Amino acid sequence: MKQILPWIGALISGGLLALCYAPVNWGGLVWIALTPLISALWFSEPWSRRETLRRFLLGYVTGAAYFIGCFHWLVTVTVAGWIALCLFLAIYPALWAVLVAALKPRQSPFEARPVWMKSWNNLLIAAAAAAGWVGLEWLREVVFTGFGWNNLGIALHENIALIQICDLTGVGGLSFLIVMVNLILVLTAKRLRVEIGHHKLRPHYDFSLTVALVAIVFGYGVRELFKKPVPSAPISIAAIQGNVPIHEKRDPAQEEEILEEHIRLTEDAMAMQPDLIIWPEAATPQPLFSDQRSWDVVRSLAEKHSGDFLLGTVNLDTTGDFNSAVLLTENGRTAQTYNKIHLVPFGEFLPFRSLVPYPAWVTSQVPGDFDSGREPTLLEMAHRPVKIAALICFEDTLGDLARRFVRQGAQLFVVLTNDGWFLKSAGARQHVQHSIFRCAETKIPMVRAANTGLTCIIDSHGRILHSLEDAEGGMFFEGILFSEVDVPQDPKMTFYTRYGDAFSLTCLGAGILTGGFLILRRREN
C-alpha cells in the first residue's frame, strides 16, 4: 500500500486541478490542489535506483490528470489530438516535480535544530518552487507556438480583487502566489508535527508572511477597484451571434441561409442605431473581398448603417491567405484590415507540413495553411474616435500579444471568435475566462462577439457586465447583444502593458539558477 499511496496522491492533485476550471469551476481548490503531489514527492519511500525518474513520473501523472481533465472538450475536435496534447503538456508539471523534490529541506549533521523549523528557509524553498512553476508556465505558452490555456492563475477568474495584481505581473503573479501557498501549507503541516514531537512551538513566520502576501495582493486589488477611473466615453455596440453550427458553416448548400440570417439580425440591430455593429470570426461563408455575393451583402448593410461595421472573414490577397478582421467605415467606403498573427496549429496550419509525413485524415482536415499577420494593427472607428484591438479566435488567451496592441494606443479590445468547434462543451466557457485577464492586465475594456460561445462585455477590471445568456446560463442560441461600453479616452499604460511578462521571465531565470545550483550540490555530495 505504501508504494501505491504516492501515485494516488499525484492523481488526486491532477484531479483537483482539473476541477478548478469550467464546467465545475471550483477555483478555490487551486490553493490546496498541489499539496498531495508535494507530500508524495517529499514523504514517500524513494526507489533504490532511478529516484529522479520516479519523481518525474509522479509529476507526469499529476500533469496528465490535470490536462486530460480540464481539456476534455477537445474530444469534440479530435480524440487523438486531445490525448497527444495532454500527454505532451504533462511534461511541464513533471519537470516541476523533479525541482520540488530536490528542494526538500535537508537536515545538516552540524545543526541540532530541525530544518523544518526554519521559517526563512521554508520561505525560500516555497518561493523557488513557485518561480519554477511560473517559468514552466511561460515556456508552455511559447514552445511549439505555445498553449498557455488554463494556467493556475486562471482558476481565480471569479476573484476580481485578487486578479488586479495582473496589471503588474500578468497571470504569472497569481500562479506564483498559488504555488507558494501550496508549498507553505505542506511545510507548515510538517513543521507542526516536528514541533509537537519536540514539545516546542515557535512562531511560524513563513506561514504568517505568506498569508500577509495574499492579503497585500487582495488589498492592492481592492484599491484598484475603488481607484478613480480614467475619463471615458460610452459607445453603443450591437454584437451579432448567429449560432451557426460548424457543420453548416462548412456546407456550401447553407451559405445563402447563413447570409440571410446575418442580414436579418443586422437589420434588427441597426434599428437600435449602435455606433458599432460586430460580426464574429469568419462570419461570411466565403472570403469577403473575393466573393461578390458576400461583398454585396456586407456593403449593402454598411451603406445603410450610420455607424461602423466590424466583422471577421477569410481574406485572400496577393500577400497571402489570412484569417482577418475588417472594419468598414464611412458607409462601407473605407475598409481597414487586421490579419491574425497567432494561428492555431492543426486548425489553421500544420506545423512543419513539408517535413512531417502527416496521414491523409489529418491533411484532409487542414488542406491548406493560413499565413500569419506580421504585426498588431489597430482599427480606427470613424463614427467615434476609438482605436480597436481586434483579437481573433484564441488570441485573447495570449497576454503578451494583447498588451502589444495597447502599447500602440488601443482603447478597446474586440474579440471575434467561433467556439462552434467545441460544440456545447466547457471549451467556450473556459475561453471567456481567459479574456477576463486581458482586461485586468491592461485596464482596457472588451467586447466579445462569438458565433457560438459567450458574447459579452467585460470592463477594464475583468468584470463581465453584460452577456448574451438565457435564464439557465445557456449561450448557444442566435441573438443580438446591444449594450454600451465605457471606453477610456486616454488609457494609462500599466506595468504589464509596458514590460509584458517580465515577472514570469524573472521566475524562469530564478528557476534555471535554482536547478543549476541543485545539480551542482548533488554532484558535490
pLDDT of 331 > 80? The answer is yes
328 domain residue, yes or no: yes
How many structural domains comprise the chain? 3
Q: If you search the block for the grid coordinates 482536415, which residue do you land on?
A: 365
Last residue within a domain, chosen from 102, 121, 151: 102
The reply to whether 113 and 61 lie within a common domain is no
Q: If you search the block for the grid coordinates 477537445, which residue do you land on?
A: 74
pLDDT of 496 > 70? The answer is yes
Q: Where residue 102 falls among pLDDT bands split at 50, 70, 90?
A: very high
27, 158 in Cβ contact below 8 A?
yes
The C-alpha cell that represents 373 in the structure block: 499577420
**Of all residues in the chain, what percent carry a pLDDT higher than 90?**
74
- What is the DSSP track for 183-217? HHHHHHHHHHHHHHHTT-----HHHHHHHHHHHHH
Kindly report, residue by residue over 371-403, the tens digit of the pLDDT.
Answer: 899 899 999 999 999 999 999 999 999 999 999
d(C-alpha 287, C-alpha 377), whole Å: 20
The reply to whether 276 and 412 lie within a common domain is yes
Q: For residue 79, what pLDDT is reported? A: 87
414, 389 in Cβ contact below 8 A?
yes
The C-alpha cell that represents 245 in the structure block: 453550427
Q: For residue 524, what pLDDT is reported? A: 62
CA–centroid distance for 88 within its chain: 18
Q: Is the dihedral of CA 361, 362, 365, 367 positive or negative?
A: negative
420-446 mean pLDDT: 94
d(C-alpha 194, C-alpha 201), whole Å: 9
Q: For residue 188, what pLDDT is reported? A: 94
**Of all residues in the chain, what percent carry a pLDDT higher than 70?**
95
264-279 mean pLDDT: 96
d(C-alpha 478, C-alpha 481), whole Å: 10
105, 115 in Cβ contact below 8 A?
yes
159, 28 in Cβ contact below 8 A?
no
The reply to whether 212 and 90 lie within a common domain is no
366, 349 in Cβ contact below 8 A?
yes
d(C-alpha 310, C-alpha 270), whole Å: 13
351 domain residue, yes or no: no
The reply to whether 373 and 474 lie within a common domain is yes
496 domain residue, yes or no: no
For Cα atoms 98, 104, 106, give the angle at the middle one, nearest 5 degrees. Answer: 135
The reply to whether 404 and 333 lie within a common domain is yes
68 domain residue, yes or no: yes
The reply to whether 180 and 36 lie within a common domain is no
* Residue 470: domain span: 232-346+360-491
461 domain residue, yes or no: yes
Q: If you search the block for the grid coordinates 465545475, which residue do you land on?
A: 24
d(C-alpha 34, C-alpha 435), whole Å: 25
305, 518 in Cβ contact below 8 A?
no
The reply to whether 201 and 275 lie within a common domain is no
Name the phi and psi angles at 326, rounded to 5: -125, 130
The reply to whether 90 and 172 lie within a common domain is no
112 domain residue, yes or no: yes
Nearest to 365 by CA among 349, 388, 341: 349
364 domain residue, yes or no: yes
d(C-alpha 501, C-alpha 266), whole Å: 39
The reply to whether 412 and 508 lie within a common domain is no
Q: Which of 216-220, 278-282, 347-351 is least confident?
A: 347-351
d(C-alpha 399, C-alpha 105), whole Å: 35
The reply to whether 98 and 8 lie within a common domain is yes
Q: For residue 356, what pLDDT is reported? A: 67
335, 377 in Cβ contact below 8 A?
no
Kindly report, residue by residue over 156-214, the tens digit of the pLDDT.
Answer: 999 999 999 999 999 999 999 999 999 999 999 999 998 888 777 788 899 999 999 99
The reply to whether 409 and 475 lie within a common domain is yes
d(C-alpha 24, C-alpha 463), whole Å: 20
Q: If you search the block for the grid coordinates 535506483, which residue do you land on?
A: 49
497 domain residue, yes or no: no
Q: For residue 110, what pLDDT is reported? A: 61
- What is the DSSP track for 439-503? HHHHT--EEEEESSS--EEE-TTS-EEEE---TTS---S-EEEEEEEEEESSPPPPHHHHH-THH
Q: For residue 214, what pLDDT is reported? A: 97
The reply to whether 212 and 72 lie within a common domain is no
275, 383 in Cβ contact below 8 A?
yes
Kindly report, residue by residue over 43-88, the tens digit of the pLDDT.
Answer: 999 888 899 999 999 999 999 999 999 999 998 888 888 998 999 9
The C-alpha cell that represents 47 in the structure block: 526507489
d(C-alpha 377, C-alpha 229), whole Å: 27
Q: What is the CATH number of the domain that holds 252?
A: 3.60.110.10
